[in-house]
Amino acid sequence: MQTLKSSCAPVVALALALLPAPANAQVCTTWEWASPLPTGNDILAIAYGDGIFAAVGSRGTILTSPDGETWTFRDSGTWNDFRDIVWNGERFVAVGRSPAVSTDGIAWVSQPLDPAGYLAAVVWTGRQFVAVGDVFAYSRDGRSWATTAPVMPWGGIVALAWDGHQFAGATGSGVFTSPDGGFWTLREPGKFDDVIWTGEQFVAAGALGTIATSPDGATWTQVVHDFWAPPLPAITSLAWTGQGYAGATSYGEVLLSKDLKNWQRVFRSSTPQAPHRVAWGEGTFVATGSLGALVSSNDGTTWRSHSSGLTADFNRVRWMGSEYLVVGRDETGKNVVATSSDGRVWSVSYPPAGVPPAEMLDVARGAPGYVAVGASATIAFSADGSTWQIVASGPSNAPRLNSVTWGGGRFVAVGSSGTVLASWDGEEWMASDSGTARDLADVVWTGTQYVAVGGVQDAASVEFCIPSRPTVLTSLNASEWTLGETPGYGGALTALSWTGRELVALVQDDSCSEWSSISSPDGVQWTPQQAPDWPRFDAITWCGTFLAAVRWDNSAPAFMMYTVQNLWVNSGGVAWTRSPSWIPAVVSSIASDGRNIVAVGRGGTILRTECAMPRVPRRRLRPIGPPHSGGAIAIP
């Protein structure tokens, strides 16, 4: 008990009582892309209509542009992929599991098919929209769909065309035709990725540069063209300009041809942002593709990319008090460290990979500078965050360093086989005996001690639910380590967060543990923190006044963020609140500066959301007895 001496005039005896705050959930804005821009999701289809290009893709992505150069992100209302889009003269209709419709390209309305189904291609017949996938669907307005289960071609239709009398569908086994979408007839064997109607003939294209044409859908002719030497790419998309053809390939190329025989390569991507779909409208070519690729040309000769940002696969993001740090590896094998003060604008540096080349998995900043750690016991150091040097590395079978932190005047790194390393200056490192041979996944500094977590969860223990204690280590000096006591439930610990009052560790998602996380005030005594039916999480961070965690949510279905305040109130567990907006990408790590949350993932994914902080529970004064004339006042 704490006491205060009072020498004031008579006052009312008071005690500070902790009263619960109003149930204010954290309000976070819609997640915005910081990299790549305008999106890092694959753009799978594009259409032109009424002066607007509309592009759609994975995870509910919709972008629009008046000129093919300036793109605006649109809210689709769904996380489901869109596979195709068409314009009918009045509205755009995009299809997938949740078809979406828009009359202006700005406001979109989507809803799942009922009964549930998946649509891969759509056309306008002049009377109605017709779409195919694992069902056959038709709609007059793009909103209300009727579905049937016709006899579909083997392998499924991936592209659809209409000539006024019949449908032609491209599949992995050939081109099929149907007068009504009910029964399909194989017309041209082969692996085809796209089919279009030019007004005079069907043109289908696919694997190994295959091109076939047909004026009536019944008789098809293979086109002999001048493609370069094998291996030939697949032609993944075709567009008709009225005077010639544009094509996109599996190599990230854009091709042009007047006659389907003589082709000119006019663009080829040198990054993972590669175009695989192409469209033409009002004198402008636009090609879209993987990781948000967007390129355009007004003359077919000069092409401009409208995507920016990074393309590295990011492993970890950390907030270091004044800046975010992100670490990963790009498509060329280079390690990448990106820094940002606000989560929007990022500066990039490239730590060397070492010999043998090693991927960097975590990064931290301390008084001496920056440290990045990774595979093969590789450690890189930078005094300024720009110029890096390898200060430690091992053979390819050396321990993998999974995590690094700064605190207590030193860097501490942990990794596989119980590896623990420490350094005062980031350059000279010393190993210590952790007392365990189990893998360590994460480490934090609480202000008074280091805490590391991990464990072993092999396939056999998952399949047969063999109990296996999670591993927790604590140390006051990074030299002498103590094994903590954890609940006897199977499952390695994969991530750790310190709230300033409580440690929270995540249990491996594919374990047979009853619990998805455990918590501890001191790193020694641990208790299950969540009920068995509560969700498991992939990443977690402390946001100043609340915890945030992310996971795939089948009920959405989407990657969602969950939040919780006052973790320590209920020893039997706490109720996580799901954020109303989904995360438009799959993410591997999150961090917070106390107001913003940054999430990172593969393909250069960096996302940001701003959260309104909830009110913290306040201590209020409440009379507990008669007027008091002096002495001590009890403070519970």
Task: Please write the tens of the pLDDT for every residue from 401-438.
Answer: 999 999 999 999 999 999 999 999 999 999 999 999 99
Average pLDDT, the chain: 86
Does residue 576 register a pLDDT over 50?
yes
Supply the pTM of this predicted model. 0.87
**Alpha-carbon dihedral of residues 419, 509, 43, 316, nearest 10 degrees?**
-30
Secondary structure of 374-389 in HEC code, one letter for each residue: ECCCCEEEECCCCCCE
pLDDT value for 14: 27
- State how far the alpha carbon of 95 is from the alpha carbons of 137, 258, 480, 549, in Å: 10, 31, 59, 31
Beta carbons within 8 Å of 248's beta carbon, 6+ residues apart: 235, 236, 237, 254, 255, 275, 276, 277, 278, 287, 289
Does residue 218 register a pLDDT over 60?
yes
Neighbouring-strand partners of residue 186: 176
Element housing 464 (H / E): helix 459-464
Please state whether the peptide bond connecting residue 66 to the residue before it is cis, i.e. omega within 30 degrees of 0.
Answer: no
Does residue 440 register a pLDDT over 90?
yes
CB 151 within 8 A of CB 138: no
- CATH of span 313-612: 2.130.10.10
Q: What phi and psi, each to the nearest 5 degrees, are found at residue 509?
A: -65, -35
Query: Which amino acid is it at 40?
Result: G
CB 287 within 8 A of CB 254: yes
Residue 17: pLDDT band by 50, 70, 90 thresholds? very low
Handedness of CA 387, 391, 397, 399 (dihedral sign): negative
Q: What phi and psi, each to the nearest 5 degrees, are found at residue 60?
A: 75, 15
Residue 148: pLDDT band by 50, 70, 90 thresholds? confident
Mean pLDDT, residues 389-398 taken together: 90
Token digits for 172? 């992995």
User: How far is 153 from 49, CA to CA, in rounded Å?
Assistant: 30
Q: How far is CA 80 from the centre of its chain?
A: 14
Report the SS3 class of residue 515.
coil
Please state whether the peptide bond connecting residue 189 to the residue before it is cis, i.e. omega within 30 degrees of 0.
Answer: no
pLDDT value for 464: 54
Neighbours of 213 (CB within 10 A): 18
pLDDT value for 92: 99
- Calculate ∠ Cα 102-115-135, nearest 5°: 80
pLDDT value for 10: 33
Beta carbons within 8 Å of 454's beta carbon, 6+ residues apart: 402, 414, 438, 439, 440, 441, 442, 470, 471, 492, 493
Neighbouring-strand partners of residue 550: 539, 561
Element housing 463 (H / E): helix 459-464
pLDDT value for 25: 55
Mean pLDDT, residues 573-584 taken together: 78
Is 569 or 513 the better-scoring residue by pLDDT? 513
- Calculate ∠ Cα 374-491-466, nearest 5°: 130
- CATH of span 43-149: 2.120.10.80
CB 332 within 8 A of CB 604: no
Please state whether the peptide bond connecting residue 38 to the residue before it is cis, i.e. omega within 30 degrees of 0.
Answer: yes
| Per-residue pLDDT tens digits for 508-546 | 765 555 567 888 899 988 877 654 455 678 899 999 989
User: How far is 600 from 602, CA to CA, in rounded Å?
Assistant: 7
pLDDT value for 5: 34
- Domain ranges (residues) in the chain: 2-19+625-635, 43-149, 313-612
Report the SS3 class of residue 170.
strand
Is 55 or 114 the better-scoring residue by pLDDT? 55
Residue 34: pLDDT band by 50, 70, 90 thresholds? very high
Output the furthest CA–CA distance in the chain (Å, rounded).
106
Token digits for 620? 């209020």
Mean pLDDT, residues 319-334 taken together: 95
Does residue 139 register a pLDDT over 60?
yes
User: How far is 378 from 537, CA to CA, in rounded Å?
Assistant: 28
Element housing 267 (H / E): strand 263-268
Mean pLDDT, residues 535-558 taken together: 85
Mean pLDDT, residues 124-149 taken together: 93
Q: How far is CA 461 from the centre of its chain?
A: 29
CB 527 within 8 A of CB 520: yes
Does residue 36 register a pLDDT over 60?
yes
User: How far is 522 from 474, CA to CA, in rounded Å?
Assistant: 9
Does residue 16 register a pLDDT over 60?
no
pLDDT value for 490: 60
Mean pLDDT, residues 182-202 taken together: 96
Token digits for 222? 């293979």
Beta carbons within 8 Å of 32's beta carbon, 6+ residues apart: 607, 608, 609
Beta carbons within 8 Å of 144's beta carbon, 6+ residues apart: none
Neighbouring-strand partners of residue 96: 82
Residue 228: pLDDT band by 50, 70, 90 thresholds? low
The string of DSSP codes covering 336-371 is EEEEESSSSS-EEE----TTTT--EEEEEE-SS-EE
pLDDT value for 530: 59
User: How far is 163 from 381, CA to CA, in rounded Å?
Assistant: 63
Pairing of strands 43-49, 52-57: antiparallel
CB 338 within 8 A of CB 370: no
Task: Quote helix, strand, coil % in the chain, to nearest 5.
Answer: 5, 50, 50
Q: How far is CA 459 from the centre of its chain?
A: 26
Mean pLDDT, residues 287-297 taken together: 97
For the chain, percent of residues with pLDDT exceeding 70: 84
Pairing of strands 471-475, 335-340: unpaired
Q: What is the CB-side half-sphere exposure of residue 405 using CA atoms within 13 A?
A: 20
Handedness of CA 147, 47, 288, 599 (dihedral sign): negative
Residue with tokens 């399949």: 463
- Calculate ∠ Cα 245-246-250, nearest 5°: 135
pLDDT value for 534: 58
Does residue 77 register a pLDDT over 60?
yes
Mean pLDDT, residues 29-42 taken together: 95
Token digits for 278? 């192409």
- Calculate ∠ Cα 284-76-25, nearest 5°: 140
Does residue 386 register a pLDDT over 80?
yes
User: How far is 251 from 227, CA to CA, in rounded Å?
Assistant: 13
| Per-residue pLDDT tens digits for 357-372 | 899 999 999 999 999 9
Report the SS3 class of residue 563.
strand
Token digits for 494? 């994969």
Assign residue 567 a region (left: φ > 0; alpha: ψ between -120 and 50; beta: otherwise).
Answer: alpha
